[in-house]
C-alpha cells in the first residue's frame, strides 16, 4: 500500500510522534510511505533523524500565491506517487487535499483521504469543518473516545467512518528492567522500602509538575490525612521545555522536598528510570490526547494513576482517575496505592492487561484496517468520494497497483 503521511507539526509533540511512528511502522512492514513536513522545525528534524526522508513543503501557509504553488506540487505528487491513502495529521492543507481528491475522483489517481485528530481541542462545528469531515474525508481517526464521540454526536460524521486508534508503544524498548531499576535506585540513594512516585514528561505547566510537587509534599508531611509518609520519594523524569528546570527546582525548594526529589534530565535509559518507579503519575491539567508517557509507563509494568484528561479514561480503571488539578484527590489516590499493596497489585495488573492491546503491531494493524476499508470504498464506490458518481469502476490500467488486487504490486 502507498500512503502519504502529512505531519505538518512544528514541535515534536504527541501529534508529530503519532504520525511519524505510523510512517515508520508502515515502512518497516513494506508499505511505501512519504512523510510531508515543515522544513526547519523540530518535528522535521526528528523525522530526518528517524530516517523517514521527510519532504519539506509550506503546508501551513495562508498566502494565496504560495497556496497555488503548493497545490501544483501536491498535484504532481499524486500523479507521480499515486497514493492509495493520504492521512492528514493536522488541519492545515486538508482543504487542498480535499480539492485534489475531487479532481482525481474519476480517474486512475483517485485516493482515500483520512483525517487523524490528535489535537486536544475539539473541532469546531462550523460549516466548512462539517463539510470537510462529513463529506470530504473518507475516514476520521480519533486518538481517544471523547474525540470520537464528538465527531459522531456533535459533527454528524457517520459512526462507521469514525475510528478510535490510541496509538502503540514499542514493547521491545519499553519493558520492565529489573537490573536497571536496581541501578537507578542505587544512583539516587533510594532504599528498597522507599516508595518512588514518578512523572514522565517535559517540563510544562500542562503536565502538572507543580501540582504533583504540592501533592507529594503534603503526603510526606501528613497534611492530607494526618499520616506522615517519610519513605515517599519523587522522580521527575523530564527536562527543560516550556518551564525551565531551575523553576522546577524552585518549586521543590519552596515545598520543602528538594532533598527527597530528583530531576533526571535527558537520559538514554528511560525504561530503567521508569522501572525504578513504584507508581507512575500522569498529573496533566489538560492535553494527553495521545499520552505517550502513560503508554511507556504501563509497558514497563508500572502501576499508574492519572487525571481524567484526554485519553486517560480509555486506559485506566475509574478508581485510578482523579479530576485535573484536584491535589487532594490525587493525594488520596497516591496514598491508597502506597498504603494498600493489594490495590497496587490490582492496579499493576489492570495496566498490564490494557497495554497488551496497545503495542506497535496493534497500532499498525488497526490503522491498516481503516486504510483498507477506505480503499474499498473509494475504488468500489460504496462511499462516494466528492465528484465521483460511483458508476465507473477502477481503471483496469491501474489494476497492478490497486490495494485490493492480491496479485498487484501494492501491498495492503
Residues 162 and 182 in one domain: no
Number of domains within the chain:
2
Residues 334 and 375 in one domain: no
pLDDT of residue 180: 98
Q: Which domain holds residue 367?
A: 2-168+360-401
Sorting pLDDT into bands at 50, 70 and 90, what band is 230? very high
**Residue 412 resides in a domain:** no
Mean pLDDT of 364-371: 98
Residues 164 and 20 in one domain: yes
Residues 274 and 135 in one domain: no
pLDDT of residue 287: 87
**Residue 261 resides in a domain:** yes
Query: Would the pTM count as exceeding 0.75?
Result: yes
Residues 271 and 380 in one domain: no
Residues 189 and 144 in one domain: no
Residues 228 and 330 in one domain: yes
Percentage of the chain modeled with pLDDT above 90: 86
**Residue 63 resides in a domain:** yes
**Residue 234 resides in a domain:** yes
- pLDDT tens per residue across span 379-410: 875 444 333 333 333 333 343 344 444 333 33
- pLDDT tens per residue across span 370-386: 999 999 999 875 444 33
Residues 164 and 145 in one domain: yes
Percentage of the chain modeled with pLDDT above 70: 92
Assign residue 290 the CATH number of its domain. Answer: 3.40.50.2000
HEC per residue, the chain: CEEEEECCCCCCCHHHHHHHHHHHHHHHCCCEEEEEECCCCHHHHHHHHCCCCCEECCCCCCCHHHHHHHHHHHHHHHHHHCCCEEEECCCCCHHHHHHHHHHCCCCCCCCEEEEEECCCCCCCCCHHHHHHHHHHCCEEEECCHHHHHHHHHCCCCCHHHEEECCCCECCCCCCCCHHHHHHHHHHCCCCCCCEEEEEECCCCHHHCHHHHHHHHHHHHHCCCCCCCCCCEEEEEECCCCCCCHHHHHHHHHHHCCHHHEEECCCCCCHHHHHHCCCEEEECCCCCCCCCHHHHHHHHCCCCEEEECCCCHHHHCCHHHEECCCCHHHHHHHHHHHHHCHHHHHHHHHHHHHHHCCCEHHHHHHHHHHHHHHHHHHHHHCCCCCCCCCCCCCCCHHHHHHCCCCCCCCCCC
Residues 130 and 194 in one domain: no
pLDDT of residue 224 exceeding 60: yes
Residues 92 and 212 in one domain: no
Mean pLDDT of 161-190: 97
- pLDDT tens per residue across span 264-317: 999 999 999 999 999 999 999 998 999 999 999 999 999 999 999 999 999 999
Residues 349 and 369 in one domain: no
Lowest-confidence pick of 124-133, 140-149, 270-279: 124-133
pLDDT of residue 212 exceeding 70: yes
Amino acid at each position: 500500500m502507498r500512503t502519504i503521511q502529512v505531519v505538518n507539526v512544528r514541535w515534536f509533540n504527541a501529534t508529530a510522534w503519532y504520525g511519524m511512528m505510523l510512517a515508520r511502522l508502515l515502512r518497516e512492514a513494506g508499505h511505501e510511505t512519504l512523510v510531508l513536513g515543515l522544513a526547519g522545525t523540530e518535528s522535521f528534524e526528528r523525522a530526518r533523524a528517524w530516517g523517514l526522508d521527510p519532504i519539506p513543503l509550506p503546508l501551513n501557509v495562508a498566502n494565496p500565491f504560495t497556496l497555488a504553488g503548493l497545490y501544483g506540487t501536491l498535484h504532481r505528487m499524486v500523479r507521480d506517487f499515486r497514493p492509495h491513502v493520504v492521512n492528514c495529521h493536522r488541519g492545515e492543507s486538508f482543504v487542498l487535499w480535499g480539492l485534489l481528491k475531487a479532481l482525481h475522483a474519476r480517474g486512475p489517481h483517485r485516493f482515500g483521504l483520512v483525517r487523524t485528530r490528535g489535537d486536544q481541542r475539539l473541532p469546531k462545528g462550523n460549516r466548512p469543518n462539517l463539510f470537510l469531515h462529513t463529506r470530504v474525508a473518507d475516514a476520521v481517526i480519533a486518538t481517544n473516545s471523547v474525540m470520537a464521540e464528538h465527531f459522531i454526536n456533535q459533527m454528524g460524521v457517520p459512526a462507521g467512518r469514525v475510528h478510535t486508534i490510541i496509538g502503540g508503544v514499542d514493547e521491545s524498548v519499553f519493558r520492565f528492567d529489573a537490573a536497571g531499576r536496581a541501578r537507578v535506585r542505587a544512583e539516587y540513594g533510594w532504599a528498597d522500602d522507599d516508595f518512588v512516585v514518578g512523572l514522565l514528561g517535559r517540563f510544562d505547566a500542562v503536565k502538572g509538575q507543580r501540582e504533583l510537587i504540592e501533592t507529594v509534599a503534603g503526603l510526606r508531611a501528613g497534611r492530607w490525612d494526618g499520616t506522615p509518609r517519610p519513605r515517599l520519594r519523587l522522580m521527575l523524569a523530564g527536562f527543560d521545555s516550556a518551564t525551565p528546570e531551575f523553576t522546577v527546582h524552585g518549586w521543590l525548594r519552596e515545598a520543602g522536598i528538594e532533598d527527597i526529589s530528583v530531576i533526571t534530565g535527558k537520559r538514554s535509559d528511560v525504561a530503567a528510570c521508569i522501572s525504578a518507579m513504584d507508581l507512575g503519575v500522569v498529573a496533566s491539567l489538560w492535553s494527553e490526547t495521545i499520552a505517550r508517557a502513560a503508554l511507556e509507563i504501563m509497558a514497563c509494568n508500572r502501576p499508574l494513576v492519572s487525571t481524567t484528561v484526554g485519553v486517560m479514561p480509555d486506559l485506566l480503571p475509574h478508581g485510578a482517575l482523579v479530576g485535573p488539578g484536584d491535589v487532594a484527590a490525587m493525594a488520596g489516590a497516591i496514598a491508597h496505592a502506597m498504603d494498600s499493596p493489594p490495590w497496587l497489585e490490582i492496579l499493576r495488573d489492570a495496566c498490564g492487561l490494557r497495554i497488551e492491546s496497545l503495542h506497535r503491531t496493534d497500532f499498525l494493524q488497526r490503522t491498516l484496517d481503516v486504510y483498507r476499508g477506505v480503499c474499498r470504498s473509494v475504488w468500489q464506490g460504496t462511499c462516494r468520494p466528492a465528484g465521483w458518481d460511483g458508476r465507473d469502476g477502477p481503471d483496469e490500467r491501474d489494476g497492478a497497483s490497486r490495494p485490493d488486487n492480491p496479485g498487484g504490486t501494492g501491498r495492503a
